Chain A
Amino acid sequence: MKILAAATVALLASTSAFATTITVEAGDNAQERLQTALIEAAPGDTVQIGEGRFELTDGLSLDVAGVTVQGAGADATILDFTNQQGSGEGLLVTADDVVLTGFAVENSAGDGIKSKEADRIVYRGLRVEWTGGPAETNGAYGLYPVESEDVLVENSIVSGASDAGIYVGQSDRIVVRHNIVRNNVAGIEIENSFNADVYENMVTQNTGGILVFDLPNLPQMGGHSVRVFRNMIQDNNTPNFAPEGNIVASVPTGTGVMIMANRNVHVFENMIADNGTSNVMIVSYTQAFDDPNYNPLPRAVFLENNQHGNAGYAPDFEGGEMLAAAVGGQLPPILWDGTGEAILSNDEAMVLSLGLTAAGQSVAEAQPQPVDLHTDDIPEQPGEVSLPMAMEAADQ
């Protein structure tokens, strides 16, 4: 019997069926030990990072598919990049089927955790934080999956990003849920992406809460099919601290949800309150561009059953104060620049249109007036984003 068992073990081992756990504890030479573990891990392995503070001088990277990187918790395992000397991010993942869970990245020089062309990636129970609070010198993105299919970001906390706390770019099939994002320029940004569900997140004290954008001159354009629902989007009034030149530097302080140059975006059942410029803003891309394949207009946007709190009491855009004075001292909760097509709202909140007719038209030409965007012909929702079972199964 023993022999049989041994033979079975040998057989399994020879087919690499055994996932092993590589443990890395805090202490001297953490950089090289942790990076070595991330290089030597085999598909199916877990790199277990111990409790404590890991002082790191360079970015870490993982390029092995099917690896789980697991810490002892977002407050217990801390990857500290305060003295980072090189690399553009704290941790870079470039392989498929990776799970990142239970650790923190603090004060990275650039982005916190980036994954590129990393399909079926799971970000779970993480914390990325710039501990000095909002500052232009903080890194750009906290959690940054890009050019990937099937992306799950959940149960994580991001604070202090000088661009977006959670940024998903040029990707397809995305779920962002149950996160807390605060003190970032943008809380959550879905950019040049297809099929995203953003729900049940706590989005507060950012400059802008949730952004759904599309930009020109990029490999993937034509962002569409995004659902933003059941989020708490409150008090996003942190003065914009993004470096100029970045698109988020143009986001007015006090923005709840902003939809720009996207198609088929449904925003529903959110609680949106206390955003000084606007609870929901629907606009086209206004800058000059040279790209025949780019559509700068918002299309097929639908708002429904959102609960609106106070908004529009401190509009942060040129002419905003005058505009507010003209409509009774305070802007209504929903702002639309007037461009695009099939912009609809069944929310019980007033919509102010700027009456513009083309992308890039000067706000000086605005003809603001309240508009009724109500419809009885409810547009069909974008489909629910369903991720591969294995990504959900890892949820425990």
Chain B
Amino acid sequence: MIRALAALFGWLALVSASAAQPGRAPVALDVILGDTLPRNLSEFRFFSDGIGQTPNARVIGYELNTPLFSDYAVKQRFAFVPEGQTVRYTEEGVLDFPVGSALIKSFGYPADFRDPGSPVRWIETRVLLRRESGWVALPYIWNEDGSEAVLARAGRRLPASWIDAQGETQAISYRVPNQNQCKGCHARHDEITLIGPQARNLNDGSRLAQWVDWGFLDRAPVDAPRLPVWDDESDGSLAERARAYLDVNCAHCHNRDGPASNSGLFLQYQEADTVARGILKRPVAAGRGSGNLAFDIAPGDPDRSILLFRMQTDDPGIAMPELGRALLHREAIALIRRYIAEMPQPAS
């Protein structure tokens, strides 16, 4: 169902990107660039009618090969790049978006995950604005009828419920992050940075070339790196898919310049140091997050690996990631369990 949606958004994006729509006011570039914090999401004019129904010109939808888990919320992602400008391709790290760009990401739940036609209740939309001074992150919360979203810098807890893919009813206290918590994940060297739109995570074989065709991206090398789809067993090895998942879900903090730099645990896809990746690495400052275990990853022994232990709990003093996860990600737990179980044990 997600993929079908993705295809639909791709089509919408094509329509919106390929032709200027006469008679419709364009995205409010002055609001993106200004020094205000707009109260209403509609002030940006990213969409012509509520959430994501009709993206404005130069607002394109996109998906990632391996996305961040957010309590099973479905997400819509859009990027806006000003007319006449392009995103600069970079092989490593996130793409370089020009000043005036914006990324828009909405979170919500369909009433019933088993029904593709089930209406989605959108909870929040997070925007990242590329201003002269750098990126600014703002959270907006939708009203009941989905007609407007209002800035909530301090975040909020909201009830959310749905029927999951197994037919079980789920209900959580959904946490809309506050503005600082945005930075909790989006900080590198104290500057707000992007997480998702890396060439390797956008690259599904055709997307980068499409972006070039639409005048969004300056170039798309044929040998651009590609992150596997974490839950597609036909895509990459077990270790590659596990490391893709850990990259997207953990490495925004767990990298040498990120909020978890002091931990010494670095989970970027391309990290070469096996101890830094957690293998036979002892915990530092983990507190009861250690779960009475000696190593982040004990090869061959998932039940003695702190990394898996912290994925398998919803206790806020232990759970990882620290933000945005109240539920267990069962499918990912199964993946990481297999990844560690099949890891060769050290000789000795």
A residues touching B (Cβ–Cβ < 8 Å)?
Answer: 31-33, 35-36, 38-40, 57-58, 61-63, 84-88, 92, 94, 108-111, 116-117, 136-141, 144, 146-147, 162-163, 167, 169-170, 215, 217-219, 243-247, 287, 289-291
Contacts and interface: CB of A to CB of B under 8 A. Distances in A.
Contact of A87 (B287, B290, B292, B323): B323
A110 B184 contact: no
Contacts of B322: 86-88, 110
Contacts of A146: 262, 285
A38 to B, nearest CB: 7
Contacts of B154: 31-33, 35-36, 39
Nearest to B304: A245
A117 B289 CA distance: 22
B327 interface: no
Nearest to A221: B264
B190 A244 contact: no
A290 B153 CA distance: 44
Contact of A86 (B275, B283, B326): B326
B316 to A, nearest CB: 4
**B262, B283, B294 interface centre (most CB from chain A within 10 Å):** B262
Interface string B321-347: 011001000000000000000000000
B114 interface: no
A114 to B, nearest CB: 9
Contacts of A244: 290, 292-294
Nearest to B296: A245
A32 B264 CA distance: 33
Contacts of B175: 58, 85-86
Given A109-B317, A141-B285, A58 B180 contact: no
Interface string B282-318: 1111111111111100000000001000000001111
A32 B156 contact: yes
Contacts of A147: 261-262
B259 A116 contact: yes
B315 A109 contact: yes
Contact of B153 (A31, A36, A108, A163): A36
15 contacts: A31-B154, A32-B156, A36-B153, A39-B178, A58-B155, A84-B316, A85-B316, A86-B316, A87-B323, A146-B262, A163-B285, A163-B287, A245-B282, A246-B290, A289-B282
**By DSSP majority rule, is chain A's interface helix, strand, loop, or mixed?**
loop
Contacts of A58: 155, 157, 175
A140 B294 contact: no
B281 interface: yes
B264 A63 contact: no
A85 B173 contact: yes
A40 B286 contact: no
B262 A94 contact: no
Given A40-B153, A86-B316, A218 B264 contact: yes
B179 interface: yes
Contacts of B276: 217
Size band of the interface chain B makes with A: 35 or more
**B184, B283, B317 interface centre (most CB from chain A within 10 Å):** B317
B90 interface: no
B40 interface: no
A36 B256 CA distance: 30
B31 interface: no
A84 B285 CA distance: 20
**A86, A140, A244 interface centre (most CB from chain B within 10 Å):** A86
B131 interface: no
A289 B294 CA distance: 12
Contacts of A215: 282, 284
Interface string B134-178: 000000000000000000011111000000000000000101001
Contacts of A162: 287-288
Contact of A140 (B187, B256, B287): B287
A116 B318 CA distance: 19
B120 interface: no
Q: Which 10 A-B pairs have the closest CB atoms?
A: A140-B287, A245-B290, A109-B317, A244-B292, A61-B180, A35-B154, A88-B322, A36-B154, A109-B316, A110-B317
Contacts of B156: 32
B249 to A, nearest CB: 15
Contacts of A218: 262, 264, 284
A243 B184 contact: no
Given A217-B276, A219-B264, A246 B173 contact: no
B181 interface: yes
Nearest to B348: A288
B74 interface: no
Contact of B287 (A36, A217, A219, A246): A246
A246 B280 CA distance: 14
Contacts of A38: 180
B183 interface: yes
A138 B288 CA distance: 8
Contacts of B289: 110, 140, 243
Contacts of A116: 259, 262
Contact of A94 (B155, B157, B180, B256): B180
Contacts of B315: 109
B279 to A, nearest CB: 10
Contacts of B187: 94
A35 B178 contact: yes
Contacts of B290: 243-246
A287 B280 CA distance: 12
A334 B317 CA distance: 36
A92 B182 CA distance: 13
B297 to A, nearest CB: 13
Contact of A137 (B281, B288, B316): B288
Nearest to B189: A117
Nearest to B294: A245
A221 B289 CA distance: 23
B286 A140 contact: yes
A88 B262 CA distance: 14
Given A39-B178, A169-B285, A243 B292 contact: yes
Contacts of B264: 217-219
Given A87-B323, A116-B262, A243-B291, A94 B183 contact: yes
A147 B153 CA distance: 27
B113 to A, nearest CB: 23
A11 to B, nearest CB: 21
B317 A290 contact: no
A353 B348 CA distance: 31
Interface in B188-245: 190
A85 B158 CA distance: 13
Nearest to A248: B287
